[in-house]
A and B are shown apart, each in its own frame.
Chain A
């Protein structure tokens, strides 16, 4: 299981490979700490009870605090603790990519769009980045577009990995919704909210509509859509 990471740069430092190396180093570091596929990772050892949370590095505290907030905010639909096992993957991805984008933010007069597996951090000061939202029922098509200057976009759904998100309250995957795209200031919360909204199935759009500072698009299983945050036509 791999995840493609795409970076688009434009402006004065568009050729700066040192910043890219820093991005990669941060992603590898996070992978080493949080991978549930690696038995020696900090998160695996914590999950087995070999170490306590107090013994973990600060970023683990940060991620677990995020997971608890996400669980509360979603009424329990989103949980990093499933069947007693610790798996904060749903929180880590957006958080990690947001952190990894920091060296790009330091590039003067340079716009960037860093995307990891379809979730992205954007800075388009000279001109906005145009983001396409993939049709979950046809990956070769775009359902909607949005122009992002400074912000983040994340999409959750089942279209590629099969049913990998379940409502933690019922243990069952939602069936009413095909994908949820969330636009927010920070990718950490765009990603969390996309997953949390998706987990709530038929309530996805209503829940997302009450989240402060979010816009988005819910694509339902029947192909219809609901735009969140826009004024009604």
Chain B
């Protein structure tokens, strides 16, 4: 059993459409283990900036360190004598662990642009869709197909 649900989240008013339909998908236990999602890129900020203003402090790129997977460089943001942020600005791009992290979902270009149905797609990612744009969008077509 599978269901597609839609909502137009206007600022306040909402319209909810509920569609249910059957597919051949079984409801058995998952047979594979998920690839772990990578953590966020950088250490959390410890700064205490005031309201309505951008972060203060001067970012300074650190020296590039060699690791077994390749070069890593971090950027420190310092306000006064306090480190307010640590961001990773360069990370290895060769083989090794970074590939494990990155290769779990890499977009594959289709040879010739496909329609959604022929590509067997569940959802469509596109630039911010509004209710106007949605009506003619691929996602709309997929959701309607779910009613059948």
Contacts and interface: CB of A to CB of B under 8 A. Distances in A.
B114 A189 contact: no
A197 B130 CA distance: 21
A86 B108 CA distance: 38
A64 B55 CA distance: 10
Contacts of A3: 8-10, 128-131
Interface string B115-148: 1100111111111111101101111101100100
Nearest to A84: B52
Given A24-B14, A148-B105, A227-B106, A69 B125 contact: no
Q: How large is the interface on A (under 10, 10 to 19, 20 to 34, 35 or more residues)?
A: 35 or more
Interface in A123-175: 123, 125-127, 129-136, 138-151, 153-161, 164
Contacts of A64: 51
A10 B30 CA distance: 11
Contacts of A31: 9, 11-12
Nearest to A126: B30
B28 to A, nearest CB: 7
A189 B42 CA distance: 11
A176 to B, nearest CB: 15
A170 B48 CA distance: 27
B49 A142 contact: no
B130 to A, nearest CB: 6
Contact of A6 (B6, B34, B127, B131): B6
Contacts of B55: 68, 71-72
B94 to A, nearest CB: 9
B45 A186 contact: no
B62 interface: no
B105 to A, nearest CB: 5
B128 A156 contact: yes
Nearest to B34: A150
Interface in B84-102: 85, 87-91, 93, 99, 101-102
Nearest to A5: B7
A59 to B, nearest CB: 15
A106 interface: no
20 contacts: A4-B140, A6-B143, A7-B3, A38-B12, A53-B52, A65-B45, A68-B55, A72-B77, A73-B42, A125-B32, A129-B123, A138-B113, A146-B105, A155-B125, A183-B107, A185-B36, A186-B37, A215-B107, A230-B102, A230-B103
Interface of B: 1-12, 14, 16, 18, 20, 23, 25-42, 44-45, 47, 49-55, 59, 75, 77, 85, 87-91, 93, 99, 101-110, 113-116, 119-131, 133-134, 136-140, 142-143, 146
Q: When A and B form their complex, which 8 residue pairs have the shortest distance between CB atoms, in order from nearest?
A: A185-B37, A213-B38, A157-B127, A134-B126, A53-B51, A125-B30, A2-B131, A132-B121
Interface of A: 1-12, 14-15, 17, 20, 24, 27-28, 31, 35, 37-38, 46-47, 49, 52-54, 56, 64-65, 68-69, 71-73, 75, 79, 81, 86, 93, 109, 111, 113, 115-120, 122-123, 125-127, 129-136, 138-151, 153-161, 164, 179, 181, 183-186, 188-189, 209-217, 225, 227, 229-231
